[in-house]
Structure 1
Amino acid sequence: MTLENRNTLSAQEQEELLQTLKNRFEKNNDRHQGMEWNTIQAKLESQPKKLHSLYEMERTEGEPDVVGYDKDRDEYLFVDCSKESPKGRRKVCYDRAALEARKKHKPENSALDMAKEMGIELLTEEQYRNLQQLGTFDAKTSSWIQTPADIRKLGGALFCDFRFGHVFVYHNGADSYYGVRGFRGSLSV
């Protein structure tokens, strides 16, 4: 999967993206009570690289939406809110080292490489659990999450899903990949 290599959007792409984000924001008020779209849009318009990252999140079917605000940093947190792990980011192993170590049937990309190219971060376990407070996500899929260095050093990586009314955190070899495992990203604006 090749991501677009430009950092800015055309005027039409920007307008369409902002409208999509606004519509999703208004439709899902429970995710961001007390926040005003006009304030968020002004921040987005002043940061073209962040807009491009949101464009990539949307293009890969992540359905990004605002889920938090950090008052100390004056930053809004966008997270992929698609019901299942984003379709355009599945079938990836965890990172570049895992991709290179794989001898046969290599996936096209890794979660960390894609996230870096998109300008986003993989969700932490805490962010993933917080997302699940806003709805049911990954009931049929799973998503790689940020993995502690000591686990990764031993060849493993972590992923999560939501089953039986609970969030489950699992481990797998970092070089594994499946058609129903992708990754969710976050972006602070």
Structure 2
Amino acid sequence: MMDNKKYQLSTESREELFRTLKERFEKNKNRHIGLEWAEVQAKLENNPEKLWSLHEMERTGGEPDVVGYEKKTGEYIFFDCSAESPKGRRNICYDREALESRKEHKPQNNAIDMAADMGIEILTEEQYRELQKLGDFDLKTSSWVKTPEKIRRLGGAVFCDRRYDTVFIYHNGAESYYTARGFRGSLRV
């Protein structure tokens, strides 16, 4: 799916994205101690479909940045690092089943389908907690996180935020949506 021309960036878009990512990487060294931008960029240049996914993360307000490196697989890990839940991904319910269950006042989209369309994964609760160790995120917003199957089968979904210098995990009906709730994603390159 991702090798289609639709998923290729123009030269200008690629160069702009590399400039943005490099600037963010250099500005936030605490997120990726010991990693070098040149190695990250080389990996991205060899994986254009991943570059397209990063572009989508950036386009929707996620401000993706490198937050780790997995030695076993040789993959760099990117998370959305915007201060608040990405603006272009808010006001959505959890998944397609939840979207289809609404009889009226349906949101435009859902977190799980949006993430899949972007070629990224929605953060798990554990990943969300790891992100919060790198800074203070979602002080005014909240973000859907990957919901355990048991909770989802019962109609619920899970979201997180940070209040009172503490990371909280909450639940809602999966069909609920709010202007201040979106989702954060991860990408392995």
TM bracket (short chain): over 0.9
| Equivalent residue, structure 2, for 1:156 | 156
| Equivalent residue, structure 1, for 2:82 | 82
Q: Distance in 2 between matches of 1:171 and 1:127?
A: 17
Deviation at 1:83, TM superposition (A): 0.2
Q: Give the SS at the match of 2:98.
A: helix
| Equivalent residue, structure 2, for 1:64 | 64
Deviation at 1:134, TM superposition (A): 0.5
Render the CA deviation track for 1:64-96: whole Å, top value 9, x for unaligned. Answer: 000011000100100000000000000000000
Render the CA deviation track for 1:83-140: whole Å, top value 9, x for unaligned. Answer: 0000000000000000000001000000001000000000011100000001000000
Unaligned stretches of 5+ residues in structure 2: none
Say whether residues 1:123 and 2:123 are aligned partners.
yes
Q: Distance in 2 between matches of 1:177 and 1:6?
A: 29
Q: Distance in 2 between matches of 1:6 and 1:178?
A: 30
Q: Distance in 2 between matches of 1:132 and 1:144?
A: 14
Give TM-score, length-normalised by structure 1. Answer: 0.97
Instruction: Give the 4+ runs in structure 1 shifted more than 2 A.
Output: none
Render the CA deviation track for 1:20-70: whole Å, top value 9, x for unaligned. Answer: 000000000010010000000000011111000000000001000000110
| Equivalent residue, structure 1, for 2:32 | 32
Q: Distance in 1 between matches of 2:21 and 2:115?
A: 20
Q: Distance in 1 between matches of 2:70 and 2:157?
A: 28
Q: Give the SS at the match of 1:178.
A: coil
Q: Distance in 2 between matches of 1:147 and 1:89?
A: 17
Residues 1-189 of structure 1 mapped to structure 2, 5 A cutoff:
6-189=6-189
Amino acid of the residue matched to residue 7 of structure 2?
A: N
Number of matched pairs = 185
Q: Give the SS at the match of 2:157.
A: strand
Aligned-pair identity (%): 67
Q: Distance in 1 between matches of 2:157 and 2:122?
A: 12
Amino acid of the residue matched to residue 19 of structure 1?
A: R
Amino acid of the residue matched to residue 102 of structure 2?
A: R
Give TM-score, length-normalised by structure 2. Answer: 0.97
Q: Give the SS at the match of 1:43.
A: helix
